[in-house]
Amino acid sequence: MALDMDFVRGEFPALKNEWTFMDNAGGSQILKGCVDKISEYYYSHNVQLGGSYDVSQNSLKAFGEGRANIATLFNAARPEEIVFGPSTTVLLQFLSKAMLSQFKAGDEVIVTITDHESNIGPWVWLEDRGVNIKFWPMNKETYELELDALDAIMTEKTKLVAFTHVSNLLGTINNVKEITKFVHDRGALVCVDAVAYAPHRAIDVQDWNVDFYALSLYKTYGPHHAALYCRYDHMEELDSLYHYFYDKTKIPAKMEPGNANYELSYASGAIVDYLVTLGEKAGSKGTRREKLEAAFQDITEQENILCEKVLSYLRKRNDCNVLGINDGTSPRRVPTIAFTIEGKDPQQVCIAMDKYKVAVRFGDFHARRLSDSLGITDQNGAVRISLTHYNTVEEVDKLLSALDEVLAK
């Protein structure tokens, strides 16, 4: 096994808890480095930014350091392309508001049936402006978003396609680079929800040439905070959400109205510090970014072992229907595994699992339109086991033996 699991688990003090955490797509555990940085900010830098005195100058530096680190996480060309906010939901609502003046009646925006509502609702609001909203349907046999289906609904009036990098129910990795090129070739922009992707694989907004790309740091080992990448030329076009004297040129402050959460922005940088250390342990001697990429290779290896272990168990049962790809070694999958069980209520299954101190979750996970289209909303959705690299083989063994007992009842 490539990852040094003692080191990894030591970086997440909360894993000493008696619970086995397998609801990581709901929120991961936080790195000790992030908590330390929050304390450090409060105890050493907690004054308003922009003052002439050195404590204030240092606060500004800390805030900037957080942004620069998160730019490395995205592989953004410059830190000003990163907008901080309280959640992905809020950031995407901000984005749609800041783009209002770019839309006119008759324009089209395409959203997908597989997205979390965060990347659907803010675009549906544009209907008030006379924008037509179209849904990119999913192939119900394969649970895939196919380019042919997108081609069938795109027109010269399509201005934006909003889609998910990974569905938080299906776990399938969409080919962002390919979809983005397809959309750009037809003259539209993309807005990608990367919340369910970011904890598992390296992001490269420059290679993929995406326009807007959002993720939640609290699901990526950090604090309750989120980040939105806006490619610089698009950032320049966004309307200001701040006071009138923060005009369009105030980048990215115009997208962060009010005082940003400085301590969480600074603390989020420890996510990148951690990934860099993992990359060093993997033998990388390159730049911070190269080390981060090496870390994600080891993370992928660990996750695939765990994912395939769970999926091979579910495949052997003939009462479980896995939503999404059921091969855990597939390069197109992350270990977010949702399934339904014949004759079992997902809520009751999860409540029964609580007794074994294995934290899993049921529901539609706010991918309500997907769950409606699968016809599972009224049956408490699906059971979701969402793993991450700090989970161990022993934990998965515990999960499977608990599940075996629960499903036998």
Can you give the binding site for ligand PLP, defined by CB under 6 A? 25, 87-89, 116, 118, 164, 168, 193, 195-196, 216, 226, 366
What is the closest distance, in whole angstroms, from the C-beta atom of residue 142 to ligand PLP in the complex?
20
The sign of the torsion formed by the CA atoms of 344, 345, 347, 348 equals: negative
Identify which of residues 2 and 217 has a Cβ nearer to ligand PLP in the complex. 217
User: How far is the C-alpha of 379 from the C-alpha of 331, rounded, in Å?
Assistant: 31
What is the closest distance, in whole angstroms, from the C-beta atom of residue 228 to ligand PLP in the complex?
10
Can you give the C-alpha Rg of the chain in angstroms? Answer: 21
Identify which of residues 174 and 380 has a Cβ nearer to ligand PLP in the complex. 174
What is the closest distance, in whole angstroms, from the C-beta atom of residue 213 to ligand PLP in the complex?
12
Identify which of residues 216 and 284 has a Cβ nearer to ligand PLP in the complex. 216
What is the closest distance, in whole angstroms, from the C-beta atom of residue 196 to ligand PLP in the complex?
4
What is the closest distance, in whole angstroms, from the C-beta atom of residue 277 to ligand PLP in the complex?
26
User: How far is the C-alpha of 409 from the C-alpha of 407, rounded, in Å?
Assistant: 5
- CA distances to 42, 189, 241, 262 from 55, rounded to whole Å, are 12, 41, 28, 14
User: How far is the C-alpha of 363 from the C-alpha of 352, rounded, in Å?
Assistant: 15
Residues forming a β-bridge with 399? none
Stated length of the chain: 409
What is the closest distance, in whole angstroms, from the C-beta atom of residue 292 to ligand PLP in the complex?
21
What is the closest distance, in whole angstroms, from the C-beta atom of residue 377 to ligand PLP in the complex?
16
Backbone angles phi and psi of 233, in degrees to 5? -65, -30
Identify which of residues 89 and 96 has a Cβ nearer to ligand PLP in the complex. 89
DSSP H or E segment with residue 258: none
Identify which of residues 89 and 300 has a Cβ nearer to ligand PLP in the complex. 89
What is the closest distance, in whole angstroms, from the C-beta atom of residue 143 to ligand PLP in the complex?
15
Identify which of residues 199 and 279 has a Cβ nearer to ligand PLP in the complex. 199
Per DSSP, the residues of 210-249 read: -SEEEEEGGGTTS-S-EEEEE-HHHHHHSPP-S-TTS-TT
DSSP H or E segment with residue 401: helix 393-408
Sequence-distant (6+) residues with CB within 8 A of 290 are 279, 284
What is the closest distance, in whole angstroms, from the C-beta atom of residue 140 to ligand PLP in the complex?
20
Identify which of residues 184 and 224 has a Cβ nearer to ligand PLP in the complex. 224
Write out the two tokens for 39: 């304390």
User: How far is the C-alpha of 198 from the C-alpha of 229, rounded, in Å?
Assistant: 13
Identify which of residues 37 and 116 has a Cβ nearer to ligand PLP in the complex. 116
Write out the two tokens for 134: 């179209």
Identify which of residues 38 and 196 has a Cβ nearer to ligand PLP in the complex. 196
User: Roughly how many angstroms between the first and final C-alpha of the chain, as a whole number?
Assistant: 35
**Residue entry with tokens 């989970």:** 391
Write out the two tokens for 187: 């003259």
User: How far is the C-alpha of 124 from the C-alpha of 159, rounded, in Å?
Assistant: 13
Exposure letters 173-185 (e unless 16+ CB within 10 A, then b): bbebeebbebbee
Identify which of residues 164 and 240 has a Cβ nearer to ligand PLP in the complex. 164
Identify which of residues 220 and 300 has a Cβ nearer to ligand PLP in the complex. 220
Sequence-distant (6+) residues with CB within 8 A of 60 are 49, 50
What is the closest distance, in whole angstroms, from the C-beta atom of residue 118 to ligand PLP in the complex?
4
Q: Is the separation of the CB atoms in 192 and 241 below 8 Å?
A: no
What is the closest distance, in whole angstroms, from the C-beta atom of residue 120 to ligand PLP in the complex?
10
